[in-house]
Amino acid sequence: MSYCLNPSCSHPKNPDNAKVCRACGSKILMRDRYLGQKLLGQGGFGTTFLAIDTSLPGQPCCVIKQLRPSSSDPNVFQMARELFEREAQTLGKIGNHPQVPRLLDYFEYNKEFYLVQEFVSGHNLHQEIKRNGPISEVGVKQFLSEILPMLQYIHAQQVIHRDIKPANLIRREQDRKLVLIDFGAVKNQVNPQMAANSSDQTALTAFAIGTPGFAPPEQMALRPVYASDIYAVGVTCIYLLTGKSPKDLDYNPKTGELVWEKYVEISDHFAQVLKKMLEVSVRHRYQVAEEVLRAMEMEPYLDSLAQGLITKPSDRSNDNLSPSGRDLDSGGRGPSSATQKLAMAIRAKRARREQGGTTGIGVYSSGRNNRMDGSRTAGQRVPKRKRMKLDVESVVNDYLKGRRDFAQENLNLLKLQDTDLSGSIFHQAKLIKTNLQNANLTNTNFGRANLTQAVLRDANLGRAYLSYANLEGADLRGANLSYASLTYASLKGANLCGANLSGAKITEEQLVQAKTNWATVLPSGKRGFW
């Protein structure tokens, strides 16, 4: 079955041997080259088709995007021409990135405009969430680690995408990497001074301002900046965590902010990162993708930073703080530096946690939640309880009851093979010689964990967070590490023979220290030794 590429055709489906469309008489083979297969999408400003390129060996699939204004007004036609040329120029400039579709051809045909792009086989994130449901915090962090470097590259080319949303992010079937599509709404001449001047806005700009809910206020006001894309990525994160699009969420009537916190269960630090991405005021938002990446990379250090600030010899005692958290030695005027402010904020948070008896790092004992003495005041220090080693039964039972946080626990030598511990947090946990063979550890956080000589053979570690983990001498034969984050992890002597590292964040220097063989799937998707 062939498909007529005339968007006005009433019955576009035709037999394979047809030369002209039976319904409208248009040539089936556009420009004697492109053979339509099916309609992919249709909007107010154009239509997208799947086609094959019959002029190339193997007749590869491609996407033909036709830009066709609904009005016959000459001014609108000129706008369409400018939009067409702008998208072609942008794709030509940034299409060398492996996660952006390549521009293959562009032309004007029968007074209509066509772009031909590389076809990306896979499902978009909107389809993934509809099919599988929302994903965890670890999964969303993995998403950010993929899209933010891509955004850095696009912004470095002075391009603002302006329509980032789940439907425009395709998980490529070939290597499971995200691909950003639909650059029809881009603004590719970025000048902050001009962006602030409303007289610079053209009628063309008014036509492609993005998707309501995903586009921030300054973009809807026709003044997009790089931070506008940061906001759209933040809204996409909320969709991935909740399965709710912006139209399904409320907005704070006083501030205009999206109300989303009550629908998610995420760490305080990650919540703060998302809040800053979603600031309505562009001045208070992250300005570039690098700032978001830097904020996320700080998370593993926050506990040690807090401890260092609290126990530092030169630091004033909590007894010198007023109930409001002000430093009494400074005359009640409050902290005198950013470092002191951070220290006091961390102290206050810990004091509230200890006073209220809420569970935090270091309060688990034998797998049970031991409540702190609620009679203590916020200014008093609470002695640390001695952490007791969990046994296999405690870990399994606690997990089945809903516990996911095993951070800093001593799990050395435990036999946890064939268990399902997906989505758990083992940050800074001790797992020396622990047997996790064939365990389900997808989306699990092993950041800074000690996994020396751990048995992880045939374990599923897909999208696991293993940054800064010690995996020296670990048995990872046949393990699934696809899209796992192994940034700065120690792999000295680790056995990765037959492991799947497709899409994993790992360097050549790390892999050189490990054992690989012909069956190892490298991050590129190819098999063989590094």
Residue bearing tokens 């008489």? 25
pTM: 0.56
Give the residue ranges of DSSP H helices in 163-301. Answer: 192-195, 217-220, 226-242, 268-277, 289-297
Domain regions of the chain by residue span: 2-118, 122-297, 312-369, 399-530
Residue tagged 């969709």 (tokens): 239
Q: How many CA atoms lie within 13 A of 69 on its CB side?
A: 18
Tens place of pLDDT for every residue, the chain, 530 residues? 899 988 888 899 999 889 999 999 999 999 999 999 999 887 656 788 999 999 999 999 999 988 766 666 777 777 777 777 877 888 887 877 889 988 899 888 877 888 899 999 999 999 999 999 999 998 899 899 899 999 999 999 888 999 999 999 999 998 888 999 987 665 544 443 333 333 333 333 344 468 899 999 999 888 899 999 999 999 999 999 999 999 999 999 888 999 999 999 999 999 999 999 999 999 999 999 999 988 887 655 454 444 444 444 444 444 444 433 344 444 444 444 444 555 565 556 556 555 554 433 333 333 333 333 334 444 444 444 455 679 999 999 988 988 888 988 999 999 999 999 998 999 899 999 999 999 999 989 999 999 999 999 999 999 999 999 999 999 999 999 999 999 899 999 999 999 999 989 999 889 999 999 988 999 988 887 65
Q: Are 486 and 464 in contact (CB under 8 A)?
A: no
Side-chain-side CA neighbours of 389 within 13 Å: the count stands at: 11
338 by Cβ neighbours in 10 Å (0-12 / 13-18 / 19+) ranks as exposed
Could you confirm whether domain 399-530 is CATH 2.160.20.80? yes
Tell me phi and psi for residue 325, to 5 degrees: 95, 5
65 is in an annotated binding site: yes
Longest dimension (CA), the chain: 89
* pLDDT value of position 337: 46
Catalytic residue among 53, 163, 229, 327: 163
CA nearest to 180, candidates 161, 157, 152, 155: 161
DSSP output for 69-117: -S---HHHHHHHHHHHHHHHHHHHHHTTSTTSPPEEEEEEETTEEEEEE
Q: Residue 381: what residue type?
A: R
Specify whether 268 is catalytic.
no
86: tokens are 């702008």
Q: For domain 2-118, is the CATH number 3.40.50.720?
A: no
Q: Which fold has domain 122-297?
A: Transferase(Phosphotransferase); domain 1 (1.10.510)
CA distance 447 to 489: 9
Q: What angle is formed at CA 475 by the lines to CA 470 and CA 479, rounded to 5 degrees?
A: 100
Q: Nearest 5°: phi and psi at 237? A: -60, -40
* Closest C-alpha to 241, from 269, 218, 271, 217: 271
Query: Residue 432: what pLDDT?
Result: 96
What pLDDT shows up at residue 33? 93
DSSP state of 245: -
